[in-house]
Amino acid sequence: MCVSAYLTANLRPGAEQKVVFITARVHPGETPSSFVCQGIIDFLVSQHPIAKVLRDHLVFKIAPMLNPDGVYLGNYRCSLMGFDLNRHWANPSPWAHPTLHGVKQLIIEMYNNPKINLEFYIDIHAHSTMMNGFMYGNIFEDEERFQRQAVLPKLLCQNAEDFSYSSTSFNRDAVKAGTGRRFLGGLLNDTSYCYTLEVSFYSYIVAGTTTAVPYTEEAYMKLGRNVARTFLDYYRLNSLVERPLAPTPKTRKEKEPLFKGTTPQGQGTGHVGSKLEKRSQTQPKDQSLPTQ
């Protein structure tokens, strides 16, 4: 079966083939990325009304583990051959970097297919020093394209209390040239957006508070669920969701608090404006917003 026919198998009749490509665990020691990716997958295959709408209108291609050999061996950053795979996107070897080579070939094949719109690439990582979830994006000379790139992280900030827009940044550092975000950002056209999604190894701070909340497996997966449901807002598909909404499915049962009277962190208030503010610097302002 060709790629185009495979992608349309679950779409509603006549739907445009809009593809969201997600990868994770290119660095084997960054285990939180696997839990975030698991949250995305579990939500998308669930019976939640939002998940059904997303499956009807979008194609999600997910490679949950780009470095399985490194994970098996217990490596922190490198593959079986000793390579940091996230520096070899420009010219991956089918022998030395087989997973990277295969994923890149699939992305190029979809990109060259006129019937497919590859609109997003998100590579999930974990960060050892920063807190919260945040994104890295690319810098473009076209100001309008640069502003459009900020829409997804701003919407995610609305949906996920642990995602920080103030920590999100856009760069073109030379040391990052071989990463998936940088390479694919230069390869794909101006309708495609590439990000690195980072999540802390340790904890997050909810907007309006100063208390650090330790991450758990469930919290990582919740971030993944919120990443998936943010595409409903991005593509303005909210009106197609059946009412009333079912609660977001949980992949694991939450544990009871250790002490009676323990209360969850409160939610802040705020809204994202209809127009994106014009930025003169590459570091965006803080747009931390509440969960939904």
- The per-residue pLDDT of the chain, averaged, comes to 84
Structure tokens that stand for 232 in this block: 């409903």
pLDDT higher than threshold 90 for residue 255: no
Residues 143, 145, 150: CA angle, nearest 5 degrees: 100
The rounded distance, in Å, linking the Cα atoms of 205 and 212 is 5
Helix 217-234 to helix 32-44 angle (10° resolution) is 50
pLDDT of residue 228: 97
pLDDT of residue 280: 40
pLDDT of residue 161: 96
The rounded distance, in Å, linking the Cα atoms of 282 and 280 is 7
- The DSSP string of 103-152 is HHHHHHHHHT-TTEEEEEEEEEEEESS--SEEEEEE--S-HHHHHHHTHH
pLDDT of residue 267: 41
pLDDT of residue 244: 55
Model confidence at 234, pLDDT cuts 50, 70, 90, reads: very high
In the predicted model, what is the mean pLDDT of residues 221-232?
A: 98
pLDDT of residue 52: 95
- Cα 260 to Cα 31, 161, 264, distances in angstroms: 31, 24, 12
Question: Cα Rg for the chain, rounded, in angstroms?
Answer: 19
The pTM of the full predicted model, rounded to 2 decimals, is 0.80
Condensed to tens digits (0 to 9), the pLDDT of residues 32-72 reads: 999 999 999 999 999 999 999 999 999 999 999 999 999 99
Contact 120, 193 (CB under 8 A): yes
Active site residues: 198
Which H/E stretch holds residue 159?
helix 151-159
Closest CA to 26 of 148, 155, 184: 184
Task: Out of 62-71, 165-174, 240-249, pick the least confident.
Answer: 240-249
The rounded distance, in Å, linking the Cα atoms of 70 and 78 is 6
pLDDT higher than threshold 50 for residue 268: no
Closest CA to 192 of 155, 149, 226: 149
pLDDT of residue 286: 46
Which H/E stretch holds residue 205?
strand 203-205
231-247: b (≥16 Cβ within 10 Å) or e? bbbbbebeebbeeeeee
